[in-house]
């Protein structure tokens, strides 16, 4: 089953941040698409198994872009 989740990431300050996040999340098996917006500091991820919210959040924290909960 495909899921879509939007994460608010206060650390996003530029297009490079979004690119870094996109590249890292695209490495996760099951992630179908990643779209980031610098102006809203949001990243929307479309994913299915074996990717999960926990895996995505852990990857974001690993690269110092923890989402606000």
Distance of alpha carbon 28 from alpha carbon 49, whole angstroms = 10
Flag whether 42 is in a domain. no
| CA atoms within a 13 Å half-sphere pointing along the CA-CB vector of 23 | 7
Q: How does pLDDT run along the chain (69 residues), one tens digit per residue?
A: 899 999 999 999 999 999 999 999 999 999 999 999 999 999 999 999 999 999 999 999 999 999 997
Flag whether 12 is in a domain. yes
Strand, coil or helix: what is 62?
helix
pTM for this predicted structure: 0.95
The tokens of 57 are what?
């959040």
Closest CA to 41 of 5, 1, 6, 69: 6
Range of the domain at 24: 3-35+47-62
Number of domains in the chain: 1
Flag whether 67 is in a domain. no
Distance of CA 52 to the CA centre of its chain: 11
Flag whether 57 is in a domain. yes
């Amino acid at each position: 089953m495909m899921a879509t989740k939007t994460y608010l990431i206060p650390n996003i300050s530029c297009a490079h941040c979004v690119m870094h996040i996109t590249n890292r999340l695209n490495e996760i098996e099951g992630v179908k698409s990643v779209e980031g917006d610098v102006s809203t500091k949001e990243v929307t991820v479309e994913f299915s198994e074996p990717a999960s919210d926990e895996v995505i959040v852990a990857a974001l924290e690993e690269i110092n872009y923890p989402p606000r909960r």
